Structure 1
Amino acid sequence: MLFIKQQWTTLAIGVAVGALGIAWLAGFWLVVVGVVALAAIAAFVRRFVRHRRLAVAASASVARPQRPKSRPEPEPSDTEALARLMLEQARYALLLRPQIAANLPPRLLDQAREAFDDQMTIVPEGDVLVGRYKGNDDQEQGYAGNLVRVEAVYLDRFQVTNEEYQEFVNAGGYEQMPLWDPEIWPAVLDFVDQSGLPGPRYWRNGKHVEGEERLPVVGVCWYEAAAYARWVGKRLPSDPEWMKAGAWPVPLPGAEPIQRRFPWGESMDQGRANLWGCGPEHVVSVEQYVSGASVGGCHQLIGNVWEWTSSRFGAWRSPGDQLVMDSAMRSLRGGAYDTYFDHQASCDYQSGDKAIARKHNIGFRCAVSFCDILLEDNSFDSAGSEDELEAAGAAGVEN
């Protein structure tokens, strides 16, 4: 198109020049002089106007302050990107390990500490009486129990939810063998959902049911719970740790500590827990039954779902009252929405099941030892490296 316009322009100029030449030869030289003069004046006017516009534009650009160009934000480093991902996955406890916290920017370290404070509570050190419980007749049963010393520990305020466990599944937790106890490696492929994909027993297509994000995850065996805990940088609590969080013993000089039968007191209050006959007869959100929280702020230690602990079933009994049980039995605490007897839904009562059981009423919560976490701005060994963060991000930290 441009070529055609150029051809037409050349032709028009040629015709005009030819016409002027003919007029000159015919004696109309005054006409020719007039046309040339007009063309020269028009060209001069166009040039003058053009130069004037350029001058005005130049003066305006000098007078007008130039807006500084926005500087693009620097690309986050690989370490920061990984740390942000771990925060989104609720793996803040890993980021607060001293050897990893040394490599975090202050902003991300503060975010990890804030998440830790929101989701976990401290159980102070002290003694707890483990193994004694009351039956329906409120009479002492079994034996006097053991006084066990518990070191300070952090415990999840809530049971692990479906949405939290979904992060573990999405990250390929069932394929990361370092997270799993070696004795269960041959069976990990059997821990699948209803569609045959890795995940809790009652999920489908590797996902929990829509709308059940804040329900406690169930249908996971003890090994799945332990693997998840390692992945997030935590562990399962022991029986004494779990009991101390709920019973909240008060030490007495020269006597056994006074401890609660239930997190809220000595008597059962069915309005404070999701149990048989007083609840909706199904699992509910972990945020419900706020009035049943422990002194330290742990919710639903009693009711909703049983909770795996790291202890073996039958532990903490006196030598003369030992149970001969399968060593694969693991301890369960707290009762569930379908627990009928009140004495089974108490801080003292221990139930148990096989470590590979994947039932509809068993979930878990996690713990972190007090000495494993850096929550204060104290000096610490900065010998950690980005490689340690990447390794932690890939497979968790062994507890």
Structure 2
Amino acid sequence: MFENLSERLERSFKILKGQGKITEINVAETLKEVRRALLDADVNYKTAKEFTETVKEKALGQDVLNAVKPEQMMVKIVHDELATLMGGSAAEFNIKGNPAIILMSGLQGSGKTTFSGKLANMLKSKRGKNPLLVAGDVYRPAAIEQLKVLGEQIGVSVYAEEDNKNPVKIAQNAIQYARQHGKDLIIIDTAGRLAIDEKMMNEIESIKKAVNPQEILFVVDSMTGQDAVNTAKEFNQRLDFNGVVLTKLDGDTRGGAALSIRSVVDKPIKFVGTGEKLDAIDVFHPERMADRILGMGDIVSLVEKAQEQYDEEEARRLQKKIAKNQFDFNDFIAQIQQIKKMGNLKDLASMIPGVGKQIKDLDIDDDAFKGIEAIIRSMTPQERTNPEILNGSRRARIAKGSGTNVQEVNKLLKQFDETRKMMRMMTTGGGRQAMRNMGRR
């Protein structure tokens, strides 16, 4: 995510490395590179110019503390201004109302229908809502079917009228249906349209007037950069939407849309799509995104993702097993499944401060645990529970059954044994005391 921009900004800060203080000359040189980095990232020219002027003003107005190097001070100023540029803090999302109504808008192919499903899934699982998805795209072949498939996957009802070609009436009828069936949230998927298509723009304006939604979201493909910003501007003039959704952010190496859209349209980015899976949706946090752009990671989001998969009762049970040295391969594979549920492995690793640029050229996919899982699944239930019985002949059988070799099986067993010892040490009083002693050094 935004790898190219991160790399260019890091190089620009190196101009200040070794400098004793911030001066007008070295600031100008640094910010010239920052501006180039922003423009290459497809950031709006006016936005890039105003951004660097603000940073320059703040940098030259700073009394740099002796303990803080000029390079560190510049990184801090740029970080804070990036966060401000993207909105400062996470925007509010209004789902009050019975039912609350969310109207989706955007271009053809921007990912509205898929995002509607993701949003319904998130609001159902995290906010306890009982949503209804409404099939308001009466033009695209198979649009209704796509929404029905998504609804089935996440356990959410879909309202559709396949013989009705009037999206305004469909939306109005869906509200009545929601009230009759106890649905407290409606997400209306609409047809993709071009801002220059007067008929289609009039239609979505009519839907807005008819249903009076609490939220109108404009969905846009972040990888289209400045085109996304220009389109958002056109739509906002007609719809006055409440917020922006950036899809495909995980594949965006530049970041132009994310950095420009707030300043050009004056509407916040509310959500981002970060992958193909139906749980690949995040609330947009400008300050955390600034952290990631500057290679500081995003440890808060990583912890939140871990907590979503965290089961307190299961954790207590596991701690008891570890303390008794009974942690086995059943527990091991269960932990792997928990990690996989958190999302894309490379994206998760990049949230750890300092790790992002180290792994940017590595290919880490969701199959990274495939070999380990194959080996464990080739064990008998007895072998998983009692790893110590895995002698030579058993290891050879497991290797053959998992499509690996004995060396790989031995390597996994050694890693497992070391992990078990370390986990036991950490859960015992002696291990905790040793950690406290280290902290005092």
Q: Compare CA radii of gyration and give the structure with the larger one.
A: 1
Structure 1 and Structure 2 fold alike (TM over 0.5): no
Give the number of the structure whose residues are more often helix, by fraction: 2
What's the TM-score, normalizing by structure 1?
0.22
Q: Which has the bigger relative contact order, CA under 8 A and spacing at least 6? A: 1
Query: Given the two structures, how large is their TM-score scaled by the length of structure 2?
Result: 0.21
